[in-house]
Structure 1
């Protein structure tokens, strides 16, 4: 058994299909299938069970998984030691909700790229939770700490959100002096059955029951607010990117949420991943503080 066999085994275990593993490895699915069959024959054990959704780990595969992951960590550590402590290179994938990915990560990753030109940084912006066990990302930013999985979690920073509307919309519609006045205004928010984390159910805290225009992406919601489609809850750190959008009822409706940095537990042994996590954490804290300071009190 060699490392290349383990690499293919891990790719199928994480991707759960031959095609997904092939895309990760840069080879065709049929090659992946042949390599897995050869590995199973060499070990005398079935590592995977074919299911309607793809490939599931068989009991023997589940027993092999931690050993394959340990080999991966050891080889990564050896490569890091040979490169030296100051050089960060290779591919680095960050998963984040689209608000963070759109308005914070580009600036933060620009600085990390400037400091470490050998890095290839990928930002995956999706309104859902990321599965780090399947290595959908190397690090993930979440809006709540996960309660299950072999993960390490650290709080990054709090951030604030307020009700907001465009100046044109506010000028053309009845004044807003209190929550009761919201009944005569169109509201913008998340599609209710696509809220993937209770922390994102912002409008529930305003007492609003009906959403006139909705999207699963906060960037789309903010553009709708800028276009004068109605009022919505906006991240304070996003307001500097939306000229003409103003906060309303700041004394009555003010929300605080938190970002959390989530890593696979095994990555705590990787000096490279620790340095990347530290750079990302410090950058996000500073960027939230910088952008929120631009918003008028």
Structure 2
């Protein structure tokens, strides 16, 4: 027998959330019903699609194979809906963006607020995670990344370059030995990412400048900046975060100036989705403009 779309929709939700209760919350149905529908789908296909583990519901090999076809079906349903409704003046529905927490905290809130103002019927969700967003499992409709993925069927578009510098508070610099060169950093407390939790080589800033010890570490940019603002040490910071932390001062600007890039990554199957294309264009323009504005500083 062929599974119906409603059962496939429930299957996709459980595959993404790895939980009956989380899937039910998203679908607005109770977890017991979700479980019964999954059992019905498994009976229809005569295959076990999930195994229960301590981490939740994990796809079996058969489930993995079904997931690929389910995602294609979902993309086809979205495209069909867009073809029927046609272009509209404003966007509606729900769109989820995945992003590392630097951009999620300091760029996306104001960018998404402006898009929301122009599209009052649109629900925008920002998924801030210190790891690569899994688009293949539809964790998000699109993702902002710090490197361009080379594997998978994805649409990748460069958004903007951005700068990073070393920073500290005036108070910290007055209380400690002067920092005139990179070599002087060895006498100071460095703040940065947890080394074995750096999920993208582009985030390994301190290694790039020869620092081999991180005394205070976090997988969150916001936590790192909070620690620096308390006057506890020195870190590498995005220039676009500095207007939010006026107490921080750039140091070693003639020796340390890193350039990184943001990319917008999407499902290849969405390239004809007019709604997502319009949102992606607005998001790209918004991030690019916001990086330029914040890097220019308060006097620009």
What residue in structure 1 maps to residue 9 of structure 2?
A: 7
Question: Aligned partners of 1:47 and 1:279: how far apart in 2?
Answer: 42
Check conservation: 1:73, 1:269, Cα contact below 8 A: no
Q: Which residue of 2 aligns with 1:294?
A: 297
Aligned residues: 295
The reply on whether 1:158 has 2:161 as its aligned counterpart is: yes
1:125 to partner: Cα distance: 1.4
Secondary structure at 1:269 match in 2? coil
Question: Is the counterpart of residue 122 in structure 1 residue 125 in structure 2?
Answer: yes
Structure 1 counterpart of 2:231: 228
SS at match of 1:181: helix
Structure 2 counterpart SS, 1:225: helix
Bigger shift: residues 1-10 or 98-107:
1-10
Alignment of 1:60-71 (within 5 A): 61-62=63-64, 64-71=66-73
Which residue does the alignment assign to 2:49? 48
Contact persistence 1:15–1:134 (CA under 8 A): no
Distance 2:69 2:196 in 1: 39
How many angstroms apart in 2 are the aligned matches of 1:224 and 1:113?
32
**Shift of the alpha carbon at 1:122?**
1.1
Residues 143-154 of structure 1: pairs in structure 2 closer than 5 A:
143-154=146-157
- CA-to-aligned-CA distance 1:41-67 (integer Å, 9 cap, x gap): 3x34315142535241443x5554454
Q: Does 1:247 align with 2:246?
A: no
Deviations 1:132-183 (A, max 9, x none): 1111111111111223233221111111101111111112222221112212
Change (3 A) 1:112 1:136: same
Residue of structure 2 equivalent to 1:168: 171
Whether 1:142 aligns to 2:142 is no
1:192 aligns with 2:203: no
| Distance in 2, Cα, partners of 1:295 & 1:161 | 17
Q: 2: distance between equivalents of 1:164 and 1:67?
A: 49
Q: What residue is the counterpart of 2:210 in the other structure?
A: 207
Unaligned runs of 5+ in 2: none
Instruction: After superposing the two structures, state which structure 1 stretch, 240-249 or 62-71, moved more.
Output: 62-71
User: Contact conserved, 1:46 with 1:58, CA < 8 A, in 2?
Assistant: no
Q: For the structure 1 residues 170 and 117, does the alpha-carbon distance in structure 2 shift closer, same or farther, using more than 3 Å as the test?
A: same
CA drift of 1:12 comes to: 2.6
**TM superposition score normalised by structure 1:** 0.91
CA change 1:270–1:47 in 2 (3 A) is farther
CA RMSD of aligned residues (A): 2.1
